[in-house]
């Protein structure tokens, strides 16, 4: 699958640490496209990427709401879901 991710998601992905090699290769291979960057993933990689994003999502203990830093990860999960069920 091919997903166009906005700049905020691309920046968040590039800032991740401890990414499995296969997903790191996909992140490094993102290409500039209209409206953001193109991220190419197989179905298995998309599932692994969504799981990785869930590990990086945090909530504010005071409010129980997602932190602003987690928003790009939630957006990528939404884009993956959209592409898988389209």
User: Where do the domains of the chain lie?
Assistant: 2-84
pTM of the model: 0.90
- Of 72, 31, 26, the C-alpha closest to 53 is 72
Per-residue pLDDT tens listing for the chain (86 residues): 999 999 999 999 999 988 999 999 999 999 999 889 999 999 999 999 999 999 999 999 999 899 999 999 999 999 999 998 87
Instruction: Give the three-class secondary structure for 4.
Output: strand
Question: Cα(73)–Cα(5) distance, rounded to whole angstroms?
Answer: 11
Other Cβ atoms less than 10 A from the Cβ of 30: the count is 19
Tokens (6 digits) for 52 = 């990785």
Partnered with residue 32 across adjacent β-strands are 37
């Amino acid at each position: 699958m091919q997903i166009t991710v906005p700049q905020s998601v691309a920046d968040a992905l590039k800032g991740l640490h401890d990414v499995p090699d296969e997903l790191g290769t996909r992140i490094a291979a993102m290409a500039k496209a209209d409206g953001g960057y193109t991220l190419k993933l197989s179905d298995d990689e998309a599932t692994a990427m969504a799981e990785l994003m869930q590990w990086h999502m945090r909530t504010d203990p005071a409010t129980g709401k997602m932190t602003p830093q987690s928003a790009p990860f939630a957006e990528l999960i939404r884009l993956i879901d959209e592409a898988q069920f389209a």
